[in-house]
Amino acid sequence: MASKPWQILRPVIDVVVFSNTWISLGALSLYLSVCLAIGISPITYEALLVFCSSFIAYNLLKLKGLKESSNTSIFHMWLRDHRILVYVLMFLASIALLYALIHVSFAQCVVLALSAAFSLIYIGFERFNLRAFWFLKTQIVALVWTLFIMGIALINIYQHIPPVKLALLSAGIFFFILGLTIPFDIRDWEADKLDPKITTLPMVFGLRGTVVLSIIHLCLAFVSWLLYAYFAIVLLPVFTIAVWRIYRLKSESKEYEYTFLLDGLIVLIYPSLQLLKTLCLM
């Protein structure tokens, strides 16, 4: 009986998570959080741009990997079985993205273009990609997230924000995404060991050392946001859950522990901050 709710919810969760809607909601959550932290109202077209471009980018990355027949993860198996659905969703997201691009500023389009360029280099070409460098792989992901979220939200008004505040807010996003991205190298460790061209953090520091690095970066993120504003203390439960889950991770942990639970922590950032704001106004 205990597994019955999971059996009912699992198809819905699979669609949300494996279509990359979940991680795109995480990007949207960070955008809304930055607006809340700065004290500006989110703009619908910017939010649409953040969500749709994240959705398209992550699906392009995952669909590129479908050619690897050796990959038997539940994520890739779902994508193979529901490829048509993903293509339809990407088409709809592309239309919404074009609509958003008409309304956002030229500077925001430049931010999107730079983020796309870094993403293409990360995804790589046949003879070259940044994922082959263990000391750049996760850092590039965190850098693109930081550039994209901060750029779209603040590129038009950054002159009016104190540089220290910008630095602390950016550092928080960078270290947070980095801390949550590093564990995915643990997930891919067994597969990566078979490729002589790839070196990852677990290969260099071991599984336990990689976990420690991830937790250190999460602590740096929390401290950065706490230095930015005291209300970041409301995020302590989110970071506590993150540290606890990452500490318990193993290379054989289920896909849901990575793509649903860890990515879900990004989604939780904005609701947590919004809840505090609502309670303070009551």
- What are the start-end ranges of the E strands in the chain? none
CATH number at residue 142: 1.10.600
Low-confidence ranges of the chain (pLDDT < 70): 1-6, 65-72, 122-136, 188-199, 251-253, 281-282
The answer to whether residue 1 sits within a structural domain is: no
Q: What is the pLDDT of residues 264-275, one digit of tens each?
A: 999 999 999 998
d(CA 148, CA 237): 26
The answer to whether residue 7 sits within a structural domain is: no
Q: What is the pLDDT of residues 205-254, one digit of tens each?
A: 778 888 899 999 999 999 999 999 888 899 999 999 999 989 887 766 67
Q: In this predicted structure, what is the pLDDT of residue 1?
A: 47
Q: In this predicted structure, what is the pLDDT of residue 155?
A: 94
The answer to whether residue 71 sits within a structural domain is: yes
Choose among 150, 205, 160, 175: nearest CA to 35: 150
Decide if 35 contacts 42 (C-beta within 8 A): yes
In the chain, the amino acid numbered 155 is: I
d(CA 211, CA 209): 5
Residue with the two structure tokens 């860890």: 262
Length of the chain: 282
The answer to whether residue 56 sits within a structural domain is: yes
Q: For the chain, how many structural domains are there in total?
A: 1
Compute CA 56 distance to the chain's CA centroid, rounded to the nearest angstrom. Answer: 13
* Structure tokens belonging to residue 84: 């048509």
The answer to whether residue 76 sits within a structural domain is: yes
The answer to whether residue 137 sits within a structural domain is: yes
Q: In this predicted structure, what is the pLDDT of residue 280?
A: 76
The answer to whether residue 5 sits within a structural domain is: no
195: left (phi over 0), alpha (psi -120 to 50) or beta: beta
Domain that holds residue 77: 13-281
The answer to whether residue 34 sits within a structural domain is: yes
Residue 30 burial by Cβ neighbours in a 10 Å radius (0-12, 13-18, 19+): buried
The neighbour count for residue 262, using CB atoms within 10 Å, is 24
What is the reported pTM? 0.89
